[in-house]
Structure 1
Amino acid sequence: MNHQDLINACASDWAEYTKHSFVQQLASGELEHNAFLHYLKQDFLFLKQYTRAYALAIYKARTLAEMRMALPSVQALLESEISHHVSYCADWGISEAQMEAEPETFGTVAYTRFVLDTGMSGDVIDLYVALAPCSIGYATIGAQLLASPTTKFQGNPYANWITMYGGEEFQESVQTGIKQLDTLLKDVDLSSERGQRLCHIFKTATRMEVAFWQQSLDDT
């Protein structure tokens, strides 16, 4: 099996995630300012836990090659992506200290602890599958919005978000991750109990992504 099998197994949830109202409002520039600020703060808290999960992948790794596979993601998150997020949030008037002090919402707690619990109770493949909807989904969304003729760029306060996730650097990094995931999945039979468990993990994490978008619309 491969990553596309995981997506196909939860097609309706995946569509709800990648075409969510939050995403559509980003594309049109009509998203409420406070909803986006809420999202930015929670995404910072999410990224901290996401980094812990990739660090857990090193601990759970069975081979030196698997340990090396996880290290670039940990380094990129700590040295680049989180720093970029902090700089981006500063442009919106939110400091790192403010984000550190922000309480995690129930949705953020549920999603990140699901990923960490999946990694702790399962193996490294379980963990990577739980992590996958975030990166693959954002790459899908970024590419879709960047290519869509209906996406507004001129005067859209969220245009930089779209160009960042649709841009070459992010897209290439996700493709690298997809290749690594497919390597881990290649010997798993989709119809087996193991394959179906991985589909369930991916589906649950995808549903958590839907809830993550929705909470920013509901809590503001």
Structure 2
Amino acid sequence: MAMGFCDQIWAEVAPLRQAILAHPFLTALADGTLPRDSFQHYIVQDSLYLAEYARVLAIAAARAPSAAGRLEFSDGAKVAVQVEEGLHQAFFAQFGVTAAMVQAAEPTPACLGYTSYLASLAATRSYEELIAAILPCFWVYWEVGCAIKPRATSPNPYAPWIDTYADPGFGAATDRVHALVDEAAAATTPTMRDAMARAFRNATRYEWMFWDSAWRLETWPV
């Protein structure tokens, strides 16, 4: 059987995925030694990211040609908001992030770059490219969660984060989005599949940049 679009692009971005799994942010998160300020930076930026990601998912739902797509992406938008509120509120309390800190926070270049890229696809590009760029946020996190969980030290201050992304329910959601992307790719042209592959690659690069920016405590250079 021929390899589907998603498995093909996943294999192609293997070096990027290795770079993500080997990133010191995730290594330190797994062994529980990640500096508190790095995780604080990450969680604040992630809440800014998820607010925008939820909007992008809602647009994907509105543009989806099938009922399955409309349901999946509207559910995803809802879950992104719930994760932002539930998981993050717990982390904010645990890691001393105040509401004032969140309100004062501005997206870093990595966060703004990633969310603006997704928003530009949603506004000006095809549905196919948009959902190809949405998928890495699911799939990369699922791979990271599954890779980290077996080797994470216990007790680990970051265990709830690891558990969220290694949860079979999150894996099932990833599979459903994966199926929608494969379906869209199978029904379109080779030129569009190339554009989808580019969108997937760019979003995966942004995933690496997002963790790297938290590790470096990135702010605007000027």
Fold conserved between structures, TM > 0.5: yes
Once residues 66 and 176 of structure 1 are traced to their aligned partners in structure 2, the CA distance between those partners, rounded to angstroms, is 9
Distance 1:96 1:197, change over 3 A: same
- The answer to whether the 8 A contact 1:17-1:206 is kept is no
In 2, Cα distance between the equivalents of 1:161 and 1:58?
Answer: 27
Q: How high is the sequence identity, in percent, across the aligned residues?
A: 23
CA shift for structure 1 position 5: 1.4
Equivalent residue runs for 1:60-209 within 5 Å? 60-78=63-81, 80-84=82-86, 85-148=88-151, 151-154=152-155, 156-188=156-188, 192-209=190-207
Deviation at 1:14, TM superposition (A): 2.1
Q: SS at 2:96's partner residue?
A: coil
| CA shift in 2, pair 1:129/1:146, >3 Å | same
Distance 1:163 1:28 in 2: 14
Once residues 173 and 69 of structure 2 are traced to their aligned partners in structure 1, the CA distance between those partners, rounded to angstroms, is 17
- In the alignment, the residues of structure 2 paired with residue 65 and residue 168 of structure 1 have an alpha-carbon distance, to the nearest angstrom, of 20
In 2: Cα distance, 1:27 partner to 1:110 partner = 27
CA distance in 2, matches of 1:96, 1:173: 30
Structure of higher RCO (CA pairs closer than 8 Å, 6+ residues apart): 1
Q: TM-score, normalised by structure 2?
A: 0.87
CA contact (8 A) 1:164 1:170 kept: yes
- Aligned partner of residue 202 in structure 1, secondary structure: helix
The alignment's TM-score, normalised by the length of structure 1, stands at 0.88
Q: Gapped runs of 5+ residues in structure 2?
A: none
117-126 or 36-45, larger mean C-alpha shift: 117-126
SS of alignment partner, residue 103 of structure 1: coil
Q: For residue 184 of structure 2, what is the amino acid of its counterpart?
A: L
Aligned: 1:58 with 2:61: yes
Alpha-carbon RMSD across the aligned residues, in angstroms, is 1.9
Shift of 1:88: 2.7
Q: Which amino acid aligns with 2:214?
A: S
Which residue of 21, 26, 35 maps to 1:23? 26
Contact 2:122 2:130 in 1 (8 A): yes
Residue by residue, what CA displacement relative to the aligned partner does 1:100-125 show, whole Å, maximum 9, x if unpaired?
Answer: 33111111100110011112221211
Cα gap change, 1:152 to 1:98, in 2 (>3 Å): same
Moved segments of 4+, more than 6 Å: none
| Separation (CA, whole Å) in 1 of partners of 2:67 and 2:174 | 22
- SS in structure 2 opposite 1:29? coil
Measured after TM superposition, the shift of residue 126 of structure 1 is 0.9
